[in-house]
């Protein structure tokens, strides 16, 4: 199955010091089809296709593992807090019902 063209947006603080607790915000453009809607013209059921998992690592360590269900709205927004330890990558992986992964990485810069 072909990948959808989702557009994740990720926002983190720019100026972090070691030990700071910072907020991570994500917004993903995705229709999150529940499998219950019908096409207006044909009456055919639109197949379910949701992002069902968000997995986030910071410097290779898991900081979030969210399991989503069909009740999650279209264009899901997620916000969570992390403690700044050291500079390194924060990797985000969204997985859909077809097992397709969408990945995005941001660099976290921490000063002493």
Q: Is the pLDDT of residue 31 over 70?
A: yes
Q: How many CB atoms lie within 10 A of CB 23?
A: 11
Residues of the chain with pLDDT > 70, as a percent, come to: 97
CA distance 3 to 101: 8
- The region, left, alpha or beta by phi > 0 then psi within -120 to 50, assigned to residue 98 is alpha
Give SS3 for 44: coil
**Number of residues that this document lists for the chain:** 112
pLDDT band of 2, cuts 50, 70, 90: low
| More confident of the two residues 112 and 90 | 90
**Residues 112, 17: contact at Cβ < 8 Å?**
yes
Residue 34, pLDDT score: 87
pLDDT bucket at 5, cuts 50 / 70 / 90: confident
| Calpha distance 1→82 (Å, rounded) | 34
What is the reported pTM? Answer: 0.89
pLDDT for 14 equals 86
Instruction: Give the per-residue pLDDT at 3.
Output: 65
pLDDT in tens, 38-67: 999 999 999 999 999 999 999 999 999 999
């Amino acid at each position: 199955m072909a990948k959808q063209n989702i557009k994740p947006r990720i926002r983190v603080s720019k100026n972090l010091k070691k030990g700071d607790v910072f907020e991570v915000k994500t917004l993903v453009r995705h229709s999150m089809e529940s499998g219950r809607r019908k096409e207006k013209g044909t009456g055919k059921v639109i197949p379910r296709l949701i992002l069902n998992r968000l997995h986030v690592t910071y410097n290779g360590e898991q900081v979030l593992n969210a399991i989503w269900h069909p009740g999650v709205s279209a264009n899901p927004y997620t916000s969570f807090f992390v403690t700044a330890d050291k500079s390194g990558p924060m990797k985000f992986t969204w997985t859909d019902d077809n097992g397709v992964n969408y990945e995005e990485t941001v660099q976290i810069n921490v000063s002493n």
